[in-house]
A = this chain, B = another copy of it.
Amino acid sequence: MDIKTYIRTHEKEILEDLFSLIRIPSVSSAADHRPDMQACALLWRDILLKAGAERAEVLPGTGHPFVYAERHVPGAERTVLVYGHYDVMPADPLDLWDSAPFEPEIRDGRIFARGADDDKGQTMIQVAAFAYLVSEGLLRHNVKFILEGEEEIGSPSLEAFIESHREMLAADIILVSDTSMLAADLPSLTTGLRGLAYWEIEVTGPNRDLHSGHFGGAVANPALVLCEMLSKIVGPDGRITAPHFYDDVLPVPDAERAMVQAIPFDEEAYKKAIDVRALRGEEGYSTLERNSMRPSFDICGMWSGHTGEGAKTVLPSKACAKVSCRLVPAQDHEKISQLMADYICRLAPDCVSVKVTPLHGGQGYVCPIDHPAYKAAEASFTQAFGRKPLAVRRGGSIPIISTFERLLGIKTILMGFGLESDAIHSPNENFRLDIFRRGIEAVVGFYTKF
């Protein structure tokens, strides 16, 4: 049976499995979802066994458990390790979803749900391709799967797990489907990722919330101080102002900049899609360079004082922010984490005290485009999507890719099938069914060409 026929005849059961996974709200960042993490891991184990794994189990780590599965092919010369994650981002704000985030719904040819793309849907592409190859007797390589439950919180247990399972995870190449393509008609393979550093800042002024009438004007307002500090971190030229921040940032080679300029990009459509009148970023770089090849600074969350109903006249005791930097491959995330923490503390005036806590981080990555596995991926994408994929660097971070390279010495091919319109990490996350099907074809193609 060819892969197109296989998908047609098996799609209902593939989607049933995916929907069962989605219905488990495996939000890794919230302590009360711990039982869901375990349930989701167990369900993946069962699905992998059904797909053709000879061995599949849920293995404990220091945090949420791992799912490991494998199938050996007699005489195989190569081993492929597939990485995915079964945890998802929180679904809030819930009121912006058009359907319940953990009740998958198909509308307009798309699956709407938290995890529909990131990363339950994309991982299911890998598993479905594997099931096809097994059922048709076409599998030529050993295959291993490792799924973790902490990708969205920075994979705090993964490094220790890899270190204690080096032999089990040994492979020739790693496949990860957790990135996106430029567009449905513009297939691409991700060849670079940004690193990440993430901090929580707590500014404390007075030891309690004060009456803004009795103290206002005489006592520094910690929320205003936090605003002043944060507004100094990015200069008017869009560059991060911390000394030595750019020390390890290599200039983008002209050849790469030319390649980015060759990517068809409609800035008006980009603005319209997110509904902004104007864009903003580092001077001297285009939008596509800014969001992929250059570092960035963002406030991910911020809170202080009275955030409820009504007009409480209070001078808050504390103001907090969660902030992050996206880093480019040559920047060391631990060095930046320390450098920025020190800088933020130095920005604080005497009238407040400041605590900066690093929450997580990860290294950037660059993928070699002359690797045989990359060539195989390129050819399989060309076949599945009808067009040679562009090699592009992307702005997101998958810190574990560099961890795999550092600890196992294995390169990773980022076979991502997401689209910007999938709204991952946002309300109404979705995944196009036509892309889902072509993704399975592309992965099958990879195994036959590698």
Residues of A within 8 A of B (CB): 28-31, 89-90, 92-93, 96, 152-154, 180, 194, 196, 198, 200, 205-221, 223-224, 226-228, 230-231, 234, 274-282, 287-288, 290-291, 294-316, 319-322, 324, 326, 349-353, 359-360, 394-397, 420, 423-428
With known contacts A209-B427, A214-B291, A310-B29, A315–B300 Cβ distance under 8 A: yes
Q: Is the CB of B216 within 8 A of A298?
A: yes
Q: List 23 A-B contacts (CB under 8 A).
A: A28-B310, A89-B312, A92-B308, A154-B311, A198-B313, A206-B276, A207-B276, A209-B425, A212-B326, A213-B394, A214-B396, A215-B274, A216-B291, A219-B279, A219-B281, A220-B276, A276-B352, A277-B350, A298-B315, A299-B319, A301-B307, A306-B322, A312-B425
Could you tell me the distance between the alpha carbons of A228 and B299 in the complex, rounded to whole angstroms? 12
With known contacts A302-B303, A302-B319, A324-B212, A296–B217 Cβ distance under 8 A: yes
Which B residue sits closest to A303, measured CB to CB? B307
Taking the closest CB of chain B, its distance from the CB of A148, in whole angstroms, is 15
Q: Is the CB of A301 within 8 A of B305?
A: yes
Q: Lowest 5 CB-CB distances: which A-B pairs, in order?
A: A29-B310, A217-B296, A213-B396, A207-B275, A223-B299
Taking the closest CB of chain B, its distance from the CB of A252, in whole angstroms, is 13
Residue of A29, A214, A314, A420 contacting most chain B CB atoms (<10 Å): A214
Contact of A224 among B276, B299, B307 (CB under 8 A): B299
Which B residue sits closest to A28, measured CB to CB? B310
Which B residue sits closest to A221, measured CB to CB? B298
Could you tell me the distance between the alpha carbons of A210 and B421 in the complex, rounded to whole angstroms? 11
Taking the closest CB of chain B, its distance from the CB of A333, in whole angstroms, is 13
